[in-house]
Amino acid sequence: MEERMVYMASSKSLLFRSPPIQYESLVGYLIRMAELNRYPHMSWIGNLAGVNLTEETLSKMSTRLDRLATVVGASAEEMKSLCYYVSAKGNNLHVILSMGEIIPKQYLYWPSQRVCFSCLREKGFVSGLWDLKAVTHCPEHGELLREACPACKEPVIFNRGRVAPCLPGCQHNGEGRECSDSVQALMQLISNKFLGTNFDLTEFGFPKQIVDGDLYMLLQTISFLAMRSWRGEGDIDHGWLEARPETMIEKMDHASGALVNWPSGYFKFLDDICAGKGAPNGAIVMHWMFGGFYKSLVAMQKRLQFLFDGLQDYMNDRLKGQLLTDRGSPAILNTRDRRTYMPGFVARKQLGVGRQEFKRLVDRNFLQSKMFHTSYGDIVCVHRDSVREYGQIKERLLGRHELSQELGISLHSLYTLGVGNILNAFHSPEKDGWPQWYYDRQVVDEWLHSLRKLAKPSRVGRETLRLSEAVAAYNKQGASYCRLFHACKEGALSLYYRKKDDENLLSCFHVDRRQVRNWYLSHA
């Protein structure tokens, strides 16, 4: 019995064998084997293995791989490597890709009956990539995938016995390149994600999000951009299903053009759909298509965030000299305000300042401002970067009462530090006409840090004075914090550091009692 099984198995294997070629499709491999063994149809190999290879049962093929492997004489591993997608169990609507990703089945022909004739002639194989609907052109030759030979008109059927479907004697060698650079690059990007090829696409400048993202995201992006008749919140996978192959070529051209050289390609794409024709130099006159595009994009925002962000960048770019307001268009900036220039109202809210302070910030150039002519008249808007920068500084601002307490010196001493150019205020009446004094905490910290670096650890037994004591003791000789700090900096006095004292930030700094006395006497 055992021997008979072995005999049966060996009798049902092919005479001529050949290992799979890299990136070959499973069906394509069987076709190639059929041709090698002079079988008129690849389904004959299925018959040998007891597997029904009709179109309807193809999805189950992956479960019969071992039987097919025995017949064609390939290892189970080799056979598995040909399965770029398998149907998910109990889920007829999705397929699992070899990388583990799951995508709707509608993105695939099952299997494809379209081929690149250049590939057939040059490499003698059927690529697994051609099963993807989004692949309209061969990534390598840029040739259109066809359902029939353009020379002998013989149609490509999947259950054929020869890799090339042509009639005997047909010498058609492929058409060569038939698409733009951008379409071919997009095909290569799909190929990299689906087959794992390594086309170098850096020069085409695809957005990072789809280069790094998964295949499904790329397919959805293409599907979305290729629609070109956006009808609100339709299903993105759906809009594409109905696309007829002949319209796909043009759609692909649009989609790939939008994705290469990000974001300028996308901007041109948006120009086409957003700006009405004949608008005065660069001004945006919304085209009717824009509404549908925008609504669909909002519906897809979670998945295709970069397209949404790109749209906002586009608005900013095209409206450089004009102002983009929130008014009447609540949705466009609700999600994420990325206007280059924002109205004063918005900036004030973000900074938490009132009108007077805002006006001062603009007048003193803390906020980069620009006048815009709008329907309300001329209004002042400010650059978002300057708002962000000042917002960060504002968080660090410190009133002078607070600072003098922290440092343990009087308000007047703090003032003299400013006069002596030791510690300058960020805002002050003298410097920029601010009614209050404010110091930048970061500047204060840097100053204290530099003092600490200057100071030496105090040795036990050395008679030292705190700075405040030194100032008090030699006040009549003209002592001031200012002069002490300058002397320390120039090296005339040594500064000591005692960790124990931490009543306030300056109390840990000491000077030598004798040194400071001599120093004052010599200067008196």
- CB neighbour class for 381 (10 Å; exposed up to 12, middle 13-18, buried from 19): buried
Smaller CB distance to DNA: residue 337 or 469?
Answer: 337
Closest separation in Å from C-beta 154 to DNA: 46
Contact status: 326 vs DNA (CB under 7 A): yes
d(CA 375, CA 283): 15
Going 411 to 415 to 416 to 421, the CA torsion angle's sign is positive
Smaller CB distance to DNA: residue 19 or 435?
Answer: 435
Closest separation in Å from C-beta 344 to DNA: 5
The residue type found at 265 is: G
Closest separation in Å from C-beta 379 to DNA: 4
Other Cβ atoms less than 10 A from the Cβ of 307: the count is: 25
Closest separation in Å from C-beta 330 to DNA: 4
Smaller CB distance to DNA: residue 298 or 443?
Answer: 298
- Region from 135-143, 215-223, 345-353, 512-520 binding DNA, contact rule CB under 7 A: 345-353
Smaller CB distance to DNA: residue 7 or 376?
Answer: 376
Ramachandran assignment for 30, one of left (phi > 0), alpha (psi -120 to 50 degrees), beta (any other): alpha
Selected from 280, 330, 457, 461, the binder of DNA by CB under 7 A is 330
- Region from 71-79, 95-103, 211-219, 371-379 binding DNA, contact rule CB under 7 A: 371-379
251 closest CA partner among 270, 217, 228: 228
Contact status: 356 vs DNA (CB under 7 A): yes
Closest separation in Å from C-beta 350 to DNA: 11
Smaller CB distance to DNA: residue 87 or 325?
Answer: 325
Contact status: 346 vs DNA (CB under 7 A): yes
Footprint of DNA on 231-260 (CB under 7 A): none
- Region from 48-56, 142-150, 351-359, 447-455 binding DNA, contact rule CB under 7 A: 351-359
Closest separation in Å from C-beta 475 to DNA: 28
Closest separation in Å from C-beta 418 to DNA: 17
Distance of CA 426 to the CA centre of its chain: 37
Peptide bond before 263: cis, by omega within 30 degrees of 0? yes
Smaller CB distance to DNA: residue 29 or 366?
Answer: 366
- In sequence order, the β-bridge partners of residue 127 are 24
492 closest CA partner among 468, 516, 475: 516
Selected from 289, 379, 443, 492, the binder of DNA by CB under 7 A is 379
In the shown chain, the binding pattern of residues 479 to 518 toward DNA, with x for contact by CB under 7 A and - for none, equals ----------------------------------------
Phi, psi of 493, rounded to the nearest 5 degrees:
-125, 150
Give the number of residues in contact with DNA, rule: CB under 7 A.
Answer: 30
Would you list the DSSP string of 263-288? Answer: THHHHHHHHHHHBPTT-STT---B-H
- Region from 117-125, 355-363, 441-449, 468-476 binding DNA, contact rule CB under 7 A: 355-363
Contact status: 329 vs DNA (CB under 7 A): yes
d(CA 169, CA 471): 108
Contact status: 412 vs DNA (CB under 7 A): no
Selected from 41, 343, 468, 488, the binder of DNA by CB under 7 A is 343
Closest separation in Å from C-beta 337 to DNA: 9
Other Cβ atoms less than 10 A from the Cβ of 320: the count is: 9
- CB neighbour class for 123 (10 Å; exposed up to 12, middle 13-18, buried from 19): middle
Closest separation in Å from C-beta 220 to DNA: 23
Other Cβ atoms less than 10 A from the Cβ of 458: the count is: 21
The tokens describing 470, both together, are 């030194």
In the shown chain, the binding pattern of residues 282 to 301 toward DNA, with x for contact by CB under 7 A and - for none, equals ------x--x--x-------
In the shown chain, the binding pattern of residues 381 to 410 toward DNA, with x for contact by CB under 7 A and - for none, equals x-----------------------------
Going 473 to 421 to 518 to 462, the CA torsion angle's sign is positive
Are 101 and 196 in contact by the 8 Å Cβ rule? The answer is: no
Footprint of DNA on 413-452 (CB under 7 A): 435-436
Selected from 344, 397, 496, 511, the binder of DNA by CB under 7 A is 344
Query: Rounded to a whole number, what is the distance in angstroms from the first to the last CA of the chain?
Result: 120
Selected from 40, 250, 365, 376, the binder of DNA by CB under 7 A is 376
Smaller CB distance to DNA: residue 108 or 425?
Answer: 425
Contact status: 360 vs DNA (CB under 7 A): yes
Selected from 278, 280, 354, 491, the binder of DNA by CB under 7 A is 354
Smaller CB distance to DNA: residue 196 or 435?
Answer: 435
Secondary structure element (H or E) that encloses residue 364, with its range? none
Report CA-CA distances (Å) from 153 to 34, 114, 167.
Answer: 22, 13, 9
Would you list the DSSP string of 395-419? Answer: HHEEEHHHHHHHHT--HHHHHHHHH
User: Which residue intervals of 301-379 are DSSP H helices?
Assistant: 305-318, 330-334, 344-351, 355-363
Smaller CB distance to DNA: residue 153 or 364?
Answer: 364
Closest separation in Å from C-beta 360 to DNA: 7
129 closest CA partner among 250, 499, 140: 140
Residues in contact with DNA by CB under 7 A are 288, 291, 294, 325-331, 334, 343-346, 348, 352-358, 360, 375-376, 379, 381, 435-436
